[in-house]
A and B are shown apart, each in its own frame.
Chain A
Amino acid sequence: MENLTKISVEQCCIYYKIELSFIQKLDQHGLISLISSGEGAFISYEQLNDLEKYIHFHYDLEINMEGIETVMHLLERIKKLQQEVKTLRNYG
């Protein structure tokens, strides 16, 4: 079952046309966490949405790792604020 919910880093690089070093850097910066097993490194399906975001940021918008970290932090804050606004509107 486990194999069905993760993809190897190599395959990921082929499908998304990205470099291995990009994924390694994301892992080093703690933006994704690779699963290591005897067969190599894998990315869980749950992290694919984030990975696709990082790909857009890096390859389409030319944002570096530090920029991506900052953007993700701010996006998290936006999400919390939007949630708060929603709550205030519904309870206000």
Chain B
Amino acid sequence: MDYIDYYKVLGVGKNATPDEIKKAYRKLARQHHPDLNPNDPAAGKLFQQINEANEVLSDPEKRKKYDQYGKDWKNAEQFEEARRQQQQSAYTGGNPFGGQAGYYSSDDDGDFSDFFASMFGDQGRSRGGRQSHFKGQDLRATLQLNLSEAYTTHKQTFTINGKNIRITIPAGVENGQEIKIKGYGADGANGGPKGDLYIRVEIKNNTAFIRKGNDLYLTVLLDLYKAILGGEEMIQTMSGKVKLNIPPETQNGKKVRLKGKGFPIYKKEGTFGDLYVTFDVQIPKNLTEREKELFWQLAKESKK
């Protein structure tokens, strides 16, 4: 736990007047308010710090205490005691796909720092007039999937705030796609509706394929002799191995399309994109004298 310089956070001097603090706070809040920075968790975190700094510096009593003990807070016994008593409860999300599933509340005024809690206690926060709600807060979760997992439909159980939620992630889900689960956010107040749960899917590519939309791209190394003389090549697709016929004189960089061997199309069961295979012809290395001789012969032959 580190000391936080609240004056620095707000960019004001130690002798700043309440008016200057208010002005600085509003200016920063307008820049970093989460509502003004959609899908930017960093802004939310920064806003929290700004809020915390304002909470301390705009309250004469808290400011006095902070100025007095500030840097020496660790030596002040009562603060140490408060710190020991202070408990942080960490959320631990479910781990349905073997990947990471962390989640956080989209609440603007999330937890304050340990430093704040140690100095002012958990009850130190003044809950301003704007904190009362009717609708419950929305929760946001991130679900990490491997590309190979996103290939098939998954039914999984998520545990959020002690509640089990069964969700289906349809095959072909896109990277960055958000799935809204209505009514699975925080409870409302005064009989208000529950918030919603938003699950954002992050897909990591653990395969040799490149995914572009519903199509997959694969580069296959092709032996020079097979490229020239033709033959067969076994290719690994997402749905298993496929035998490809290599026509004689296949050129380097040649692309073939395997219809329906791409990625499943989201919520269109049984339909798939295509797989594009590009051949990368390998020039042999470390030739033997005999091989070199034969290539020379070939070279001469081709000049005739």
Contact = CB atoms under 8 A, between A and B. Distances in A.
A5 B193 CA distance: 8
Given A12-B134, A52-B133, A91 B213 contact: yes
Given A15-B190, A15-B192, A45-B193, A60 B29 contact: yes
A62 B130 CA distance: 13
Contact of A45 (B130, B132, B135): B135
A36 interface: no
A90 B176 contact: yes
B30 interface: yes
Interface in B110-144: 129-130, 132-135, 138
Interface residues of A, number: 30
Nearest to B195: A49
Contact of B130 (A48, A49, A55, A63): A55
A47 to B, nearest CB: 10
Interface string B165-197: 000000000111000000000000110110000
A7 B175 contact: no
Nearest to B135: A48
Given A16-B134, A53-B35, A48 B193 contact: yes
Interface string B19-48: 000000010011001011011000000000
A7 B134 contact: yes
A40 B193 CA distance: 20
A20 interface: no
Given A17-B129, A17-B130, A60-B130, A52 B135 contact: yes
A61 B29 contact: yes
A62 B213 contact: no
A73 interface: no
Given A16-B132, A17-B129, A71 B36 contact: yes
> Chain B binding site: helix, strand, loop or mixed by DSSP?
loop
B108 interface: yes
Contacts of A82: 38-39
B26 A62 contact: yes
B204 interface: no
A10 to B, nearest CB: 12
A56 interface: yes
B62 interface: no
B33 A61 contact: yes
Contacts of A63: 30
Interface in A37-55: 45, 48-49, 52-53, 55
Contacts of A55: 130
Nearest to B34: A56
Interface in A63-89: 63, 71, 75, 78-79, 82, 86, 89
Contacts of A15: 132-134, 189-190, 192
A87 B35 CA distance: 23
Nearest to A45: B193
Contacts of A78: 38
Contacts of A7: 134, 192
26 contacts: A7-B192, A12-B134, A15-B190, A16-B132, A52-B133, A55-B130, A56-B35, A56-B108, A56-B130, A57-B33, A59-B129, A60-B130, A61-B26, A61-B29, A61-B33, A62-B26, A63-B30, A79-B38, A82-B38, A89-B175, A89-B176, A90-B175, A90-B212, A90-B213, A91-B212, A91-B213
Interface of A: 5, 7, 11-12, 15-17, 45, 48-49, 52-53, 55-57, 59-63, 71, 75, 78-79, 82, 86, 89-92
